[in-house]
Amino acid sequence: MKKSYKSGDYEVSDIYQGGYSSLNPLSNVYTAAGTLGMTTDPRVANILQEVSSKLSTGAKQISVTAVSPEIFDSIPKQQLKEVHRLSKLTGIDVSMHGPVIDVAGISQQGYSEADRESAERRITDVLLRSKELNPEGNIPVTFHTAEGIPGSQFLPPAQRKEGEEYKRLIVINRETGRLAPLEAEKKFYPQMEELKPGVQEKIERGIITKENLAENRGKYIKQIPLEEGKYYSPEKRVEVLNATEWDNSLNQVFFNQERAQEILGKNQVQIQHLQNSINDMKERKISDKEIREKLTPTQRHAWSNLQAAQNYLQDAHQQVNGLFSKAYEFGTDEQKNHLKKLSEDFRTMIEKNGADPLTQAEAMNYMVNELKKEEYAPSLYEPIEKFATEKTAQTFGNAAFNSYKKFKGKSPVLVIENPPAGFGLSTGEDVKRVVEESREQFIENAKKEGMSESQARKEAEKLIGATWDVGHINMLRKYGYSEEDIIKETEKVAPYVKQIHLSDNFGFEHTELPMGMGNVPLKEMMAKLGQKGFEAPKIIEAANWWQHFKTAPFQETLEATGSPLYSMKMSPDWSQAPGLYQGYSSGMEGQWLPQIHYETFGTGFSRLPKELGGQAGEQGNRMSGRPME
């Protein structure tokens, strides 16, 4: 037991702090040492030397880290095979951290399908080559969800209002691939109004119809004073942007269609007579030049008007075709059903009434007015997270299936990691969606090859999962997220986790310290991950510790994670290890209990210094026996 002696304001404690107490551990995070692993130096392609040096720490898991595509391609295939042999000799498990690349095909310049396809080929190649590290099993291969995609900035949950989730929303034009940032703003219009609280929710639930809204505007809509301005959240600005884009696209069609109708309306009688004459002449296979020569001056004037109207109608028809295609390509399933019906109605009008200009103009007028309705307007702009999830899942799902086709049940496991918070696809919800949609892409590919859906789903769940980086998600703190919010992000991704990356920081910079040296709430995160988290490999990523302190962070991590000293998983743990060195009666000798301790505190206390009642002379430092400096 630790004792202290106090005299006035001066206190002297004995040098022995007592043994450990299983009732009072320094760490409440219980982690088996065998699940902890080290990374190789990401700057080094000589992975055989790196793995050999990391083995001396006692780690049972080694992650070959090649986050740079150039470094990965500099690793000889012979070294991958030699690392596998080394792992069999030493009994360690090996995983791979693949290159960090733009998986979705999105860069600062926008989206490119060619870039996405190139990323898919790269991911497939990494999976196939990583198989050399574990030919008999399913080696985990980690990839980030995204690299360099500008992420939207979410409001902390405590600051969110109804229907408002973003502080700064990055949107992408699905047709052009261009990015645009949207933030909340106020507008000042001559007449401003908005729905009263709760009305929008009732509209979405069908309790209030558009007819109810039109008949009871005073009940559901309030007027906004000019000095207050109308507030537009980032989400609302996306709606406005989509509506404006669609209206602007239709305006030119309206001009051409209305101009054609105007010409046809003013010259309807002459054009009708002329059309009959022209049809008769064409049946006799008379050319347009001959027809014009046979017309009277009045008929030639009508002929010119007819050609002008037809030109306007042709332009309008081409534009409508383009807009119809755009609406169908980027529309929802419900919108596509509406468009199918509209297409059938348009075709029926043309076939029933003939293909004369007046009929075409009427059919075109019907088509344009229908497309202008709200239910046909496609969402050309959407949050980058939604778009990137779709494209990233396509890449991962295809690459995982490409690997499966070659290795079947022994295919590498594609594990998807959250990048540092602030980039795109960095939250727990983002990773969850990417994993789910990647699995669905895998399943669709497998079904096309004749596999049953149940078997395809089983393989997808085995071969696609998540790597959860506790340090990366902790960086949400700089955006105002609380510790509780960060823990909830872990809960969202927990069912999909197959590997964990351990790094600590203070929530602002992407620093990588050993656990326990920052403010990452590891204990609470591990509680959310449950048994899967306890069993999953945990790779220590502590680049900043290596850089500044030049030592392996393995022991520090053992202490911070409550790893037990004994393989039987019993107390004490590494956080209590210092107490084991200080039991006086333990019989230990040498450096733990040097001979001077026995001489000083042995029978009779003959070597106590004179100032403490003994007879020993002054020989330097009485605790170590070395002269005082």
Residue of 39, 58, 36 whose CA lies nearest to 50: 39
**Cis (ω within 30 of 0) for the bond into 594?**
no
pTM of the model: 0.79
Q: Could you give phi then psi for residue 288, rounded to 5 degrees?
A: -60, -35
Between the ranges 10-19, 367-376, 604-613, where is the mean pLDDT highest?
367-376
Q: Worst-scoring range by mean pLDDT, 18-22, 360-364, 545-549, 576-580?
A: 18-22
Q: How far apart are CA 444 and CA 106, in angstroms?
A: 24
**What are phi and psi for residue 26, nearest 5 degrees?**
-80, -25
DSSP summary character for residue 479? G
Average pLDDT over residues 104-123: 92
Other C-beta atoms closer than 10 Å to the C-beta of 39 total: 24
- Determine which of 13-27, 83-97, 316-330 has the lowest per-residue pLDDT on average: 13-27
Domains delineated in the chain: 24-152+383-578 (3.20.20.150), 157-236 (no CATH), 247-379 (no CATH), 590-629 (no CATH)
- Round to whole Å and give the CA distance between 190 and 340: 40
- Provide the percentage of residues in the chain whose pLDDT is more than 70: 82
Note whether 364 and 375 are within 8 A (CB).
no
Number of Cα atoms under 13 Å in the Cβ half of residue 401:
22
For residues 424 and 150, is the Cβ–Cβ distance under 8 A?
A: yes
C-alpha 171/C-alpha 151 separation (Å) is 10
Whether 597 has a pLDDT exceeding 80, the answer reads no
- Phi (first) and psi of residue 185, to 5 degrees: -155, 165
Residue 48 CB-half CA count within 13 A: 13
What pLDDT shows up at residue 605?
Answer: 52
Q: Are 132 and 81 in contact, with CB atoms under 8 Å apart?
A: yes
3-class state of residue 29 by DSSP: coil
On whether the CB atoms of residues 559 and 26 are closer than 8 A, the answer is: yes
Coil vs helix vs strand at 383: strand
Nearest to 423 by CA among 478, 465, 464, 467: 478
pLDDT tens for each residue of 207-248: 888 888 888 888 889 998 988 888 899 999 999 999 888 888
Confidence of residue 200 (pLDDT cuts 50, 70, 90): confident
Q: Per-residue pLDDT tens for 44-89?
A: 999 999 999 999 888 999 999 999 999 999 999 999 999 999 999 9
Residue 241, token pair as written in the block: 């942007």
Contact 498, 448 (CB under 8 A): no
In a 13 Å sphere around the CA of 251, the CA atoms on its Cβ side amount to 6
Residue indicated by tokens 């490999």: 537
Q: Please, are residues 502 and 541 in contact by the beta-carbon 8 Å criterion?
A: yes
Give the whole-angstrom CA distance, residue 146 versus residue 396.
11
**Is residue 339 packed enough to be buried (19+ CB in 10 Å), middle (13-18) or exposed (0-12)?**
buried
3-state secondary structure of 580: helix
What was the pLDDT predicted at 273? 65
- pLDDT bracket for residue 28 (50, 70, 90): low
The mean-pLDDT minimum among 8-22, 259-273, 310-324, 378-392 falls in 8-22
> Among the residues of 449-507, which ranges form H helices?
453-463, 470-474, 483-493
Which phi and psi (to 5°) does residue 64 adopt?
A: -70, 110
Greatest mean pLDDT range, 213-217, 359-363, 565-569, 601-605: 213-217
Annotate 121-185 with DSSP letters as a single string: HHHHHHHHHHGGG-TTS--EEEEES-SSPBPPEEPPGGG--TT--EEEEEEEETTT--EEEEE-E
pLDDT above 90: residue 452 = yes
Which pairs count as long-range contacts for 404-410, CB under 8 Å and 24+ apart, including other chains? Answer: 404/442, 404/446, 404/459, 404/463, 405/449, 406/128, 407/131, 409/459, 410/131, 410/135, 410/136, 410/137, 410/138
The pLDDT tens digits of the residues spanning 128-173 come to 999 999 999 999 999 999 988 888 999 999 998 877 899 999 999 9
> Over 50: is that where the pLDDT of 175 sits?
yes
CA separation for the pair 509, 475 (Å, rounded): 7
3-state secondary structure of 13: strand
Residue 39 contacts residue 540 (beta carbons within 8 Å): yes
d(CA 120, CA 101): 10
Q: What is the pLDDT of residue 215?
A: 87
End-to-end CA gap in the chain = 32
Q: For residue 410, give the DSSP letter.
A: G
Taking residues 168-181, report their average pLDDT. 92
Q: What are phi and psi of 606, to 5 degrees?
A: -65, -25
| 3-state SS, residue 52 | helix
Region 103-108 average pLDDT: 89
Assign 586 a pLDDT band (cuts: 50, 70, 90).
very low
Average confidence score pLDDT of the chain: 85
